Structure 1
Amino acid sequence: MNMAKSKLVKANEKIAEKVVGTFGKIENTVVSGYTKIEDAFVDRYLTKEGETIEEAKERLKRKSETLK
């Protein structure tokens, strides 16, 4: 009985590792996609002439903090 339980524990650990790994991949894909959309929006609508996306984000962050 103890041997069977040990095999189940090992099988469950392998399944858990695969689930966590797959979740991590999905999470990275979603976050990456969101970041690309966010950057495109900032670039198109919120940057000032000659300003990079990063500079625009920083400017907006500072402005948001001063409004709080």
Structure 2
Amino acid sequence: MSKSKIVKANQKIAEKVVGAFGRIENTVVGGYTKIEDAFVGRYLTKSGETIEQAKQRLREENKP
């Protein structure tokens, strides 16, 4: 009986840790994307080009 309590407690802890990691990951990736978009928009876009178009152009230019 005590083993099942430990297993249940470990499962709850694991769920909370995974959930917290997911939230942290989303926050970090979202912050990076905002910084990346600002940089591309400010320094790498050509006249009349959107940020997404500039990113696509850069991906194509950097293909091996």
Whether these two folds match at TM > 0.5 is: yes
Is 1:52–2:50 an aligned residue pair?
yes
Listed as ranges, the gaps of 5+ residues in structure 1 are: none
Q: CA deviation at 1:37?
A: 0.2
- Whole-Å separation in 2 of the counterparts to 1:62 and 1:19: 38
Partner of residue 22, structure 2: 24
Give the residue type in structure 2 aligned to 1:18: K
How big is each residue's C-alpha offset from its partner over 1:9-67, in whole Å with a ceiling of 9 and x where there is no partner? Answer: 000000000000000000000000000000000000000011000000000001001xx
The total of aligned residue pairs comes to 64
Structure (1 or 2) with the larger CA radius of gyration: 1
TM-score, length basis structure 2: 0.98
Give the residue type in structure 1 aligned to 2:4: S
Listed as ranges, the gaps of 5+ residues in structure 2 are: none
Sequence identity percentage: 75
